[in-house]
Chain A
């Protein structure tokens, strides 16, 4: 997929840029390269009826294996909890009705497109990228199949084509970035949703809309919008009748896991201080040891080493 030379180039470049540029900027200061007009999707789970049209629309758009639209009318699959995998980027899971509401909660599961994605941070070759406009995109040409993204994702979304021996890819929702950003269409799932439980638009406006709905129907909604703050915010925002931890979202901090790792790693290289320190220390040690040997027989040996260093 990627030659050794290319790989070294990418990693070298990544390490270099990470150390010199990103270190001081994003992770540490909270500044963002994200577009203030970036897009997202608001999923009002209380409007979802589990018709699974979005599952079909997604599979159709992304050329994933799927049956007829009618075959998605089968509600029996909602009896089990499912996960997105390499054959489906999104699934609907049904959570039983709470005591105070007659309806169960149907929850659409897919990549939430974090604002500060752990998968992007973990990707050592830059195959996953956070588009400033919102979507977290994937470039199969750069991917080396290390699957660090799968480990890093706090929602365990990226899947891998283990059955594809020759050209396996990491598979996850792309927020239909081709359709949305280039063609100006709605994401396939949003377009097909018959109740407009999914609304596509600018993230800021969606948040406003979400809080408006909560204020209008405090009896219907849990007062927090999932994705506003969780793991530093996500492009997908979920509005449910109960806390997100009760519909499959793990208990997560308001900070991206990438912040911690990047702060440690980038902090070491901040202003090139770390390497400078180590190399200075080494040179001092070398110098002191050479100084000790000077009066004795060490001269010719030391010269040789110097010569080697220059070649290296």
Chain B
């Protein structure tokens, strides 16, 4: 028994030691966790190779890098209109068509928010501002993690602002494919047709401007001092683009040097309004009091009710530049009206069984739907409008 007690005591000691070992293990398991390393401060020290291209630079031959790697500085002094008008970015022309970058336009925008350094973050004290490709390599060597390759550099520069401004990041916004086709952009084409016009700053590239729907001007014209301009009508009804009137604008047309919008700007009304309304007399614009919005019936005597109200002006009258009066014959537009395809009930008369199969021109002679229908082809006594070729139906 004594020997058994002894063995048990030894075993207990062993067990205690084991447990201690296990707990000790648990305590030291993760030194990183117990003493979390403080957030690293950024490395300010540079490597020799950041500035020098050779191993042993001397006073005589400092072999300075043509591109300073990090800590790059913009040392030169430049004016925004020094740069080129347009830069064609075509280094990846095998994949994408060249991107035409309106440099001067962007320089103008930059001038209001920080100047050249918005994009050109490195420039020597004298000489020209180096283009992006001088430092950013066309292929991604991944040797300097701080410096993106050319493609990355372009995308970082352009997309940042474009996202903020127009919330656009579709490839097709800037790129055409090498074969000339526009890159598919999943329905993200700019909101208005024709806004790819590079001079259309206001309509396409600029964040949406909320214009006043109606401007009323007081003039010195004695016969009609008030000029009412329905801006909203011109944009939404008549189909004008911003660039139709706001031509050749630059940022400074509307903003001061700090970027703050200027109070208000008046276009030259003779050239702007006259472009479309040159043949009108003064009273077309000038009146004693404010003019109401455009009304088709009041102006032309022909109401658009009920169906034509939904049709855009340009559908019948063509583009604003080629405005014309449409052919009054319904069939000039409605060429597909035929028996079976047209629901006559929409006109207010639902045709009876007998009349349903007849050709349109049996009653509407020569398909002149504006004239009174003629029943004499079949009926001896004049019928319409005393008697209808069917029953009354609600006009739709």
Contact = CB atoms under 8 A, between A and B. Distances in A.
B251 to A, nearest CB: 20
B32 interface: yes
The listed residue with most A CB atoms (<10 A of its CB), out of B30, B43, B171, is B30
Contact of B39 (A49, A194, A211, A276): A211
Interface stretch (B20-28, B76-84, B106-114, B324-332): B20-28
B42 A196 contact: no
B283 to A, nearest CB: 48
A28 B169 contact: no
Contact of A28 (B28, B37, B149, B170): B28
Contacts of B148: 195-196
A211 B42 contact: yes
A304 B40 CA distance: 69
Interface stretch (B8-16, B208-216, B219-227, B231-239): B8-16
Interface residues of B, number: 46
Interface string B94-126: 000000000000000000000000000000000
Interface string A231-272: 011000000000000000000011110011001101110110
A30 B29 contact: yes
Given A186-B142, A263-B25, A274 B18 contact: yes
A196 B18 contact: no
A242 B156 CA distance: 20
A49 B169 contact: yes
A273 B29 contact: no
Interface stretch (A5-13, A68-76, A82-90, A125-133): A68-76
Contacts of B164: 102-103
The listed residue with most A CB atoms (<10 A of its CB), out of B18, B21, B185, is B18
Contacts of B171: 51, 73
Contacts of A266: 25
Given A224-B39, A273-B14, A277-B14, A75 B186 contact: yes
Contacts of B18: 270-271, 273-274, 277
Interface string B165-197: 000011100000000000111101000000000
Contacts of B155: 194-196
B296 interface: no
B169 A51 contact: yes
A206 B164 CA distance: 27
Contact of B25 (A74, A201, A205, A267): A267
Given A73-B171, A277-B11, A194 B184 contact: no
Contacts of A216: 42
A230 to B, nearest CB: 11
A230 B22 CA distance: 25
Nearest to A223: B39
Nearest to B148: A196
B22 A270 contact: yes
A263 B29 contact: yes
Contacts of A271: 18, 21
B31 interface: yes
Q: How large is the interface on A (under 10, 10 to 19, 20 to 34, 35 or more residues)?
A: 35 or more
B41 interface: yes
A259 B29 contact: yes
A307 to B, nearest CB: 25
The listed residue with most A CB atoms (<10 A of its CB), out of B22, B37, B41, B146, is B22
A191 B149 CA distance: 11
A199 interface: yes
Given A51-B169, A196-B149, A273-B14, A229 B32 contact: yes
A114 B335 CA distance: 69
A267 B26 contact: yes
A138 interface: no
B22 A254 contact: no
Interface stretch (A160-168, A171-179, A280-288): A280-288
Nearest to B70: A212
A208 interface: yes
A200 interface: yes
B145 interface: yes
A27 interface: yes
B15 A277 contact: yes
A29 B34 CA distance: 12
Given A28-B25, A211-B40, A284-B7, A70 B184 contact: yes
Interface string A96-128: 000000110000000000000000000000000
A50 interface: yes
A208 B40 contact: yes
A224 to B, nearest CB: 7
Contacts of B22: 263-264, 267-268, 270
12 contacts: A29-B28, A50-B169, A70-B183, A73-B184, A73-B185, A76-B186, A208-B40, A212-B146, A255-B29, A280-B7, A284-B8, A288-B4
Given A206-B145, A212-B42, A284-B8, 8 more contacts: A29-B28, A49-B163, A49-B169, A102-B164, A207-B40, A211-B40, A229-B33, A263-B29
Q: Which 5 A-B pairs have the closest CB atoms?
A: A196-B152, A267-B22, A273-B18, A215-B42, A73-B186
